[in-house]
Amino acid sequence: MAFSPGRLSAKSRPGLVLKGYTSHAAFEGDCSLCHQPLKAAQATLCLDCHSSVAKEIRQKIGTHSLIDQVEQCFDCHTDHHGENFDPSLASFASFDHSRTRFSLARHQVNYDTSPMECKACHQADTGFTISDSTCALCHATKDLAFVVKHSHEFGEDCTDCHDGRDKMADFDHQATDFPLEGHHAGLPCTDCHNLQNASDGSSGGEAAPISLFKGTSKECTQCHNDDDPHPGLFSKDCAACHNPKGWIPALYESAPFEHVAKAGFSLVRHRKTFEGDPLSCNDCHQGKTRDIGTDSCINCHSQGEERTAFMARHQEQYGLDCTSCHDGLDRMHDFVHEKVFPLEGKHAEIACQDCHKDKVFAGTPKECVHCHEEPKIHAGFFGVQCQLCHKTQAWAPALLHMHSFPLDHGKQGEVACRVCHPSRYTETTCYGCHEHQPEEIVKNHQEKNISLQELENCAKCHPSGRVKEE
């Protein structure tokens, strides 16, 4: 001991035993544990005992990973200064705190202007770690109400946001990849940055170890999930239709979405269910954006005994394609058929399905030939504007607007059309009444220079039906 440079430190940490020793003083008589000249570097011998420090250096984590030339342990941790000397505390004087993620630029003095010591933040028995409550306890002495409110809103992990300079003092949200525009610009920070939206999923109270700002989700549904009236109907890319300037009107296919213009169905009468609850898109669209299954309308409007009975009759009479008649306003609630197609005469007596085949109503043709096939007897000659000659009171007799040949030919009453027109109205024959001898008739007419072609057109020479015209 005559050549000893001094007594070793007896400082120890409760419960910490390294290589069977609780302090340097415990192996003061065995210098070779720390000194092996020409055999082993002193740092190697230090790290052989202090394995946790060796792990920090190897994995590049913790305080020791921040120190240049960390293998020179003796530069920071001297000893042989007596039993009460603390090698760890002595290292603080040479430690460059700027190498950490927290600057001491604003932590040189306490609120009472006294110099701030390391132990004000770093408790001696916990190494270099800082308790969540350390910052709060200190700053609460200056402004308790602010600290309580701040901790409640943003949690107690102060170094999550603050680096001692302070990096949040001039923070510009517009410089991030989520600029605050439109309605987002006026929101309190805590509307988006709160325990429920914490990136690590923490929600266990104010002291939960969370990161309220780093990694905050940019998905609209993180905040607007309860606002979504169409979950599962569209993608979660809300920005494809909505923007921060206003949730509505939404854009659909690059234009403001109007349900009437895009879907042909007004929502004026479809704001709420029969129970008074808000009606959502999914109530009708069942996972489809463009199509509405008939079940959507029927299931909703069949609730209750009275409505169920009405819908059963309604479907039987008009079919299942609700939107072919209903547009949501509702255009059919005061429907008068006479405004579309007057039901007069025989039309008033027929059933709906006689004209509306397969219970299709919208777009039903109004032309007579849709139900009344054009008679072969005048097909292609009089056209298909049947109403010019026929009436709904009765199809026959038809109104004859022009007929030069007397219809009471023979003075025996009106002759039926088919007597003279057996096949088509464009063809006539006199042989239906007159028993002619064709050979004799041909001979007599040839004597008067009437050809066989002209002979077929009796009415040309006999317009009144008489043999000799006056």
pLDDT category of residue 127 using cuts at 50, 70 and 90: low
- 392 and 322, same structural domain? no
Q: Quote the CA–CA distance of 21 and 224 in Å, as a whole number.
A: 59
SS (H, E, C) 276-342: CCECCHHHHHCCCCCCCCHHHHHHHHCCCHHHHHHHHHHHHHHCCCHHHCCCCCCCCCCCCHHHCCC
Last residue of a domain, one of 62, 95, 128: 95
Residue 243's DSSP bridge partners are 246
Q: Quote the CA–CA distance of 371 and 142 in Å, as a whole number.
A: 93
Calculate the dihedral angle through the C-alpha atoms of 429, 434, 438, 439, rounding to the nearest 10 degrees.
Answer: -150
The answer to whether residue 9 scores a pLDDT higher than 50 is: yes
Q: Quote the CA–CA distance of 372 and 374 in Å, as a whole number.
A: 6
Q: Angle at which helices 305-318 and 294-301 pack, to 10 degrees?
A: 140
Query: pLDDT above 70 covers what percent of the chain?
Result: 91
The answer to whether residue 200 scores a pLDDT higher than 70 is: no
- 280 and 195, same structural domain? no
What's the pLDDT at 227? 67
401: left (phi over 0), alpha (psi -120 to 50) or beta: alpha
The answer to whether residue 143 scores a pLDDT higher than 90 is: yes
Residue 255 per-residue DSSP state: E
- 329 and 273, same structural domain? yes
- 83 and 158, same structural domain? no
- 424 and 368, same structural domain? no
**186 falls within a domain:** yes
- 316 and 274, same structural domain? yes
What's the pLDDT at 196? 61
346-357 pLDDT per residue, tens:
998 888 888 888
The answer to whether residue 343 scores a pLDDT higher than 80 is: yes
- 143 and 62, same structural domain? no
Last residue of a domain, one of 95, 128, 151: 95
The answer to whether residue 262 scores a pLDDT higher than 70 is: yes
What's the pLDDT at 210? 43
- pLDDT average, residue stretch 245-254: 79
Q: Quote the CA–CA distance of 409 and 117 in Å, as a whole number.
A: 136
pLDDT category of residue 203 using cuts at 50, 70 and 90: very low
- 79 and 55, same structural domain? yes
**3 falls within a domain:** no
- 198 and 141, same structural domain? yes
Residue 21's DSSP bridge partners are 18
Q: Quote the CA–CA distance of 222 and 225 in Å, as a whole number.
A: 6
**189 falls within a domain:** yes
pLDDT category of residue 2 using cuts at 50, 70 and 90: low
**300 falls within a domain:** yes
361-400 pLDDT per residue, tens:
878 888 888 888 888 878 877 788 888 888 898 888 888 7
Range of the domain at 331: 264-335
What's the pLDDT at 111? 92
**173 falls within a domain:** yes
Q: Which of 27-36, 200-209, 279-288 has the highest mean pLDDT?
A: 27-36
Q: Quote the CA–CA distance of 217 and 219 in Å, as a whole number.
A: 5
Identify which has the larger pLDDT, 256 or 202. Answer: 256
- 379 and 410, same structural domain? no
174-195 pLDDT per residue, tens:
888 889 988 898 888 878 876 5
The answer to whether residue 170 scores a pLDDT higher than 80 is: no
Last residue of a domain, one of 377, 402, 427: 402
Query: Considering only 38-47, 58-67, 103-112, 141-150, which range has the smallest mean pLDDT?
Result: 58-67
Identify which has the larger pLDDT, 169 or 248. Answer: 248
- 379 and 458, same structural domain? no
**470 falls within a domain:** yes
Q: Quote the CA–CA distance of 313 and 307 in Å, as a whole number.
A: 10
C-beta of residue 179 within 8 angstroms of C-beta of residue 173: yes
Alpha-carbon distance values, 100 to 69, 103, 110, 126, 162 (Å): 16, 7, 20, 17, 13
What's the pLDDT at 206? 41
**226 falls within a domain:** no
The answer to whether residue 208 scores a pLDDT higher than 70 is: no
Query: How many structural domains comprise the chain?
Result: 5
Listing DSSP states for 430-445 in one string gives STTT----HHHHHHHH
As given in the structure block, the two tokens for residue 397 are: 């007799």
Beta strands 255-256 and 251-252 are antiparallel
Neighbours of 420 (CB within 10 A): 20
Q: Quote the CA–CA distance of 85 and 344 in Å, as a whole number.
A: 118
Identify which has the larger pLDDT, 338 or 433. Answer: 338
The answer to whether residue 321 scores a pLDDT higher than 50 is: yes
Identify which has the larger pLDDT, 258 or 77. Answer: 77
Tokens 């072969």 belong to residue:
376
Indicate the burial class of 298 (C-beta count within 10 angstroms; 0-12, 13-18, 19 or more): middle
**388 falls within a domain:** yes
> What is the residue type of 445?
H
pLDDT category of residue 435 using cuts at 50, 70 and 90: low
Q: Quote the CA–CA distance of 249 and 245 in Å, as a whole number.
A: 10
- 323 and 311, same structural domain? yes
Identify which has the larger pLDDT, 23 or 403. Answer: 23
